[in-house]
């Protein structure tokens, strides 16, 4: 009957509507004509969805390239995906590590309450990330949660083919990182409860909670989640070109969207699209003072190396925060994670994050 059919479809619509949360920030590149649009962004002209300052000195397309070929084909909400590359020039700020990273440009509350950080990631056979070196992927400044791939500093042996999810400085989940497989991820972050859970699927499958929330030192200034990759240098291993592909990047609050390629595809409303005309700096009366990212003073410190199971503290880092970071305990390696297994005697250098003399960018 007509009436019944109508009721059914209404019920279905209502059901699908409640299963989606609110998109706080949309990083799906749907408004970007090409990665050159990232060049329109600066601290004093914060247009578009991404901050782009952690990269080498070459052309943007050498490190960040957009194409429909680079997205998870199961994701119809994204027009294109991004290829993030490490090349022989991918050194940022005089550091020895190769880095190509994008950071959400938003004033939305992506660092408060309970939020879901969505992204899909893939590697190819071509330009595969080295299995001999540590890659920190889609990480926060304090490394309370991140993906990792490759041999992890301090581990036994020479190589590691796994893709891992880290939280609380421990490997909580891993899988062989095979070429051509799209891994869909959502970090379930509760900034109030200080927990992080892990949702995962492959291809076009719906996300499933793969690791229930674990305690972690959740903290973020709202501009320190790094979509992209940082690769630690390792002596004896040369730099080859490496690519990692991402798509379906967005941050959501409320109810988790588990379907891939779902979630509202609308651009986030809080920043103009990259096509917006850049404000001439001379007329930007209220523009904040130029930001200076001081070169970090790396005071090497020694820390016990972790066990071969990679239950190690995050290394690095990072000094990428645009606000002077509080000297966060979470940024430092902690020994607690390494006490459960026999430790190799080797020590490794860790970079101590120094408070930066960085001017506040916020207007």
Ligand X SMILES: *[C@@H]1O[C@H](CO)[C@@H](O)[C@H](O)[C@H]1NC(C)=O
Identity of the residue, 62 or 160, whose beta carbon is nearer to ligand X in the bound complex: 62
Identity of the residue, 25 or 32, whose beta carbon is nearer to ligand X in the bound complex: 32
| Token pair in block for residue 228 | 């992209």
String of b and e for 64-77 (b: at least 16 CB within 10 Å)? bbbeeebbbebbeb
Using the structure block, give the residue that is written with the tokens 């990665």: 35
CB of 176 to ligand X, least distance (A): 27
Helix ranges (H only) for the chain are: 2-18, 60-63
Identity of the residue, 13 or 68, whose beta carbon is nearer to ligand X in the bound complex: 68
Q: Which residues contact 215 (CB under 8 A, 6 or more apart)?
A: 168, 194, 195
CB of 85 to ligand X, least distance (A): 8
Identity of the residue, 67 or 328, whose beta carbon is nearer to ligand X in the bound complex: 67
Applying CB under 6 A, the residues found at the interface with ligand X are 61-62, 65, 67, 69
Among the listed residues 74, 281, 49, the one whose alpha carbon sits nearest the alpha carbon of residue 183: 74
Q: Which residues pair with 32 in a beta bridge?
A: none
Please tell me the distance from the alpha carbon of residue 361 to that of residue 363, in angstroms, as a whole number: 6
Identity of the residue, 83 or 351, whose beta carbon is nearer to ligand X in the bound complex: 83
DSSP one-letter code for 283: G
């Amino acid at each position: 009957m007509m009436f019944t059919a109508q009721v059914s479809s209404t019920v279905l619509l209502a059901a699908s509507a409640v299963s989606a949360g609110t998109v706080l920030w949309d990083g799906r590149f749907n408004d970007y004509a090409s990665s050159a649009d990232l060049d329109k962004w600066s601290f004093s002209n914060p247009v578009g969805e991404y901050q782009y300052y952690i990269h080498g000195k070459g052309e943007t397309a050498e490190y960040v390239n957009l194409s429909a070929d680079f997205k998870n084909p199961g994701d119809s909400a994204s027009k294109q995906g991004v290829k993030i590359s490490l090349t022989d020039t991918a050194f940022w700020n005089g550091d020895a590590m190769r880095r190509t990273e994008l950071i959400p440009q938003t004033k939305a509350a992506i660092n408060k309450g309970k939020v879901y950080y969505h992204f899909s990631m893939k590697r190819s056979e071509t330009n595969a990330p080295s299995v001999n070196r540590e890659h920190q992927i889609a990480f926060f400044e304090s490394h309370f949660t991140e993906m990792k791939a490759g041999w992890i500093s301090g581990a036994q042996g020479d190589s590691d083919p796994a893709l891992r999810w880290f939280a609380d400085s421990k490997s909580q989940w891993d899988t062989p990182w095979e070429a051509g497989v799209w891994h869909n991820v959502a970090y379930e972050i509760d900034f109030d409860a200080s927990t992080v859970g892990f949702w995962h699927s492959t291809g076009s499958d719906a996300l499933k909670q793969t690791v229930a929330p674990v305690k972690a030192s959740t903290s973020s200034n709202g501009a320190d989640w790094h979509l992209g990759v940082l690769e630690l240098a390792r002596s004896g291993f040369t730099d080859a070109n490496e690519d990692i592909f991402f798509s379906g990047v967005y941050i959501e609050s409320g109810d988790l969207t588990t379907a891939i390629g779902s979630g509202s595809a609308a651009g986030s409303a809080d920043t103009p699209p990259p096509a917006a005309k850049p404000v001439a700096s001379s007329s930007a009366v209220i523009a904040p003072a130029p930001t200076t990212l001081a070169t970090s003073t790396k005071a090497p410190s020694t820390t016990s190396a972790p066990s071969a199971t990679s239950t190690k503290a995050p290394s690095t880092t990072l000094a990428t925060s645009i606000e002077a970071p509080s000297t966060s305990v979470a940024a430092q390696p902690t020994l607690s994670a390494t006490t459960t297994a026999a430790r190799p005697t080797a020590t490794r250098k860790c970079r101590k994050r120094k408070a930066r003399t960085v001017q506040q960018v916020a207007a």
